[in-house]
Amino acid sequence: MLQYLYNALSVMQDQYFSLWLGKWTTAIDWTAAVVGTDLAATLSSLSRSLSYTVLGTFDKTQKLDVKAQMVESEINKYFGHLITYYFGQDYFSIRMQAYDDMLWVVLGWLEAIQLIKTHSERHYPDNGNERGAWHAQQFIPAFAHRARVFYELAEEGWDWVLCGGGMIWNPLLLPYKNAITNQLYISASISMYLHFPGDDNCSPFMGAAERHQPGWNLFRAEEQGSTFACSESDRKPKYDPMYLTNAINGYNWLANSGMLNAQGLYTDGFHISGYAQNHSKTECDERNEMVYTYNQGVILSGLRGLWEATGRISYLNDGYELVGNVIRSTGWTDVDFSSVTFTDHQDPSPSPTHPNEASQTTDRGTLGANGVLTELCDPMGTCSQDSQTFKGIFFHHLTAFCAPLPTFPARRGKTHYASHDTYDLHRKSCDAYAPWVIRNAQSALGTRDENGKFGAWWGAGNRERQDEVDEVLPRDALDYRNDPELLLTGNFSSMLDEGIQELVEKRSWIDGGDPNERGRGRTVETQGGGVAVVRAMWEFLRQSGGYDDELQ
C-alpha cells in the first residue's frame, strides 16, 4: 500500500517539480501552496511507516538497516524540494492576492513545521546538543516567519460590520463572505495556536502593519546576535491566545451564518444585495448555492484543532456530522468498516466493483456517484485549475481530522487530551469512513496513465454512467471557480478595475478519448489530489490495523 503512495509522490515531484526554479512550474501560487502541503504531509506518512533511530554520531559501528536508510534518504531528498520551494515561492506576488491565497501559504508552512518536529521526535534522539539533530530543524524559524507574515496579512480580511463578522474573500471585489476563506481563517488560526513555534524575526515584509524595510542597523544587530534587534511588539510567542480567540470567533460566525444547505453541505458564500449602489447595507442575504468539495474539507482540520485547544466535544461532533453528509452526498450507504478486510498481500489496485458493492447505491448525489467524490465539472472535463485541486484538499483535511486524538496534552494548561471514551469514539467514527476512503483511492488509482499521472475525474471508470451525466448547476448557483468571467459581472463586479482581469484564467481545452485527457487533462493539481487520497487510504488503514507494509 505504501508503495502506491510513494509512487504517486515520486511522479508529482519528478515530473512536475523544477528543482532549479524551486517550484511546480505549471502550478499557480495557491495551488502550489496546496501541493507543497501535500508533499510535507506525505513525508510525515513516510516517516511513520518505519521505526528506526538515527543516532547522529560518527561511530561506524552504529548503522541503519537497508530499509531505514532508504526511507530516510527519500525523506531527505524530498524535504530538499520543500526547501527549494521556500525560496522559489513568489511571496511578494501572493501578498497582493486574495485572502484565501495567503492562508493556503500559512497552512503549508505550518504543515512543514509539523513534519520537521514529528520526524525529529520519531527518528532523532534528543542528546542535548544540535550535533545529532535532523538538519531540517534549522528551517523552522524561516518557515514560522513566513506563516506569520501571511497570517497577519490575511487577518485584515476580517470585519464585524458586514454580515456581523467573517472574512471577505477578495478586497478587489464587492464584499463576498465565502466558505473557503472563513474555513481557512479558522483552520489557520487554530493551527497557529497549536503548531506555530513563535517568531522573533523582524526582517522585511513583516506583515500588514509594517510594509517598509527595517533599517540596516537592525540587520547588523541580528548578525551580531543582539537580543534587542527586534522590539517586543515584533515578537510572537507560542500558544498566543489571540489565535485561539480568532479561531473560536471565526467558527461561531460560520456556524451561525446560514451557509449550510438542506443536505448539511456548505454552499459557497454570501453576497450583500444592492451593496454596489448602497454601501450602508450590511446583511449577507444572497447565498451562492454552488457546492464545491473543498468547502466541506478545510473546516475539518479546524474543528479537530478547536477540540484540542478547548476540549469541547461539540467541535468533533460537528465534524462527524459534516463528514457523514459528504459521504451520503456521493451516493454511498456502506458505513460498516468490518465489511471490508485487507490481508497483508491484498492488491489495492482499482477493481470494477467495491468489496461490498451490494450495500452502496448507484444514485448520483450532489458531490458524486457510486461513492466517488466528484466535482460537478469533473464528468464534463470542464474543471479549471482551481477545481482540479479541490478533492485532494478535502482528503488532506479529512485525514488530519481523523488522526488519533492525543492521550496527553501537548502543553499543560494550553491544550487538552482525550478521555478513553472520546478516544475510542473518534477512532470508531473514523474507522467507519475507511471503506469510503478506500473506494475513492481505488477509483483515483484507476485514472493513472502509463506514466503514473492521476486524472481529475475519479469516477471515470463507471463507464455505463458517463452518457447520463450532465453538468446541471443548483438553482441560484454561480460556478465562478470554473467560469471566472463571472467575476467581472453581477455581485462579484470589481470595486477596483485595476488588476481584476488577472483573476480571469486563460484556459485551453484538449479533446481526447481518455475522459481524463479532456479539458486541462492531467496536471500537477490532479497529481496532488491523487497523492492526498492515496495517503488518506494508507493512514486510515494504518490506524485501523487493516494494512501494514513498507517500501519495496
Q: How confident is the model at residue 368 (pLDDT cuts 50, 70, 90)?
A: very high
- pLDDT on residue 505: 45
Contacts 24+ apart (CB under 8 A), 361-365: 361/331, 361/332, 361/333, 362/331, 362/465, 363/331, 364/331, 364/465, 364/469, 365/328, 365/329, 365/330, 365/331
What is the mean predicted confidence (pLDDT) over 65-94? 95
Residue 130 has pLDDT above 80, yes or no: no
Structural domains in the chain, CATH included, are 2-199+236-544 (1.50.10.20)
Question: At residue 338, does pLDDT exceed 70?
Answer: no
User: For the chain, what percent of residues have pLDDT higher than 90?
Assistant: 70
CA dihedral 462, 465, 466, 467 (to 10 degrees): 160
Task: Please compute the mean of the pLDDT values over residues 5-22 and round it to a whole number.
Answer: 98
User: Rounded to the nearest 5 degrees, what angle is found at the Cα of 243, between the Cα atoms of 27 and 82?
Assistant: 30
Alpha-carbon distance of 115 to 400, in angstroms, equals 13
- The CA R_g of the chain, rounded to the nearest whole Å, is 23
CA separation for the pair 15, 452 (Å, rounded)? 10
Quote the pLDDT of residue 228.
Answer: 52
Amino acid 333: pLDDT: 84
DSSP 82-137: HHHHHHHS-HHHHTTS-HHHHHHHHHHHHHHHHHHHHHHHHHS---SSGGGS-GGG
How sure is the predictor about 219, in pLDDT bands with cuts at 50, 70 and 90? low
pLDDT recorded at residue 287: 97
On the question of pLDDT at 365 being above 80, the answer is no
Of residues 62 and 141, the one with the higher pLDDT is 141
Number of H helices, E strands in the chain: 15, 8
Which bin fits 528, alpha (ψ -120 to 50), beta or left (φ > 0)?
alpha
pLDDT, tens only, 415-429: 999 999 999 999 999
Q: How far, in Å, CA of 77 to CA of 295, rounded? A: 33
Torsion, CA 27, CA 525, CA 183, CA 324, rounded to 10: 180
> Which DSSP string do the residues of 326-384 spell out, in sequence order?
HHHTTT-----GGG----TT---S--SS-TTGGGS---EETTEETTEE--TTTTTT---
Q: What is the mean pLDDT of residues 29-50?
A: 97
**Mean pLDDT, range 439-452, rounded to an integer:** 97
Tell me which residue of 504, 509, 528 sits closest to 520, measured CA to CA. Answer: 509
Helix (H, G, I), strand (E, B) or coil at 423: helix
| Whether the predicted pLDDT of 329 surpasses 90 | yes
Amino acid at 162: L
* Average pLDDT across the chain, whole number: 86
- Where is 188: in which H helix or E strand? helix 179-195
What burial letters (b/e) apply to 18-56, b meaning 16+ CB within 10 Å? Answer: eeeebbbeebbbbbbbbbbbbbbbbbbbbbebbeeebeb
pLDDT value at position 545?
78
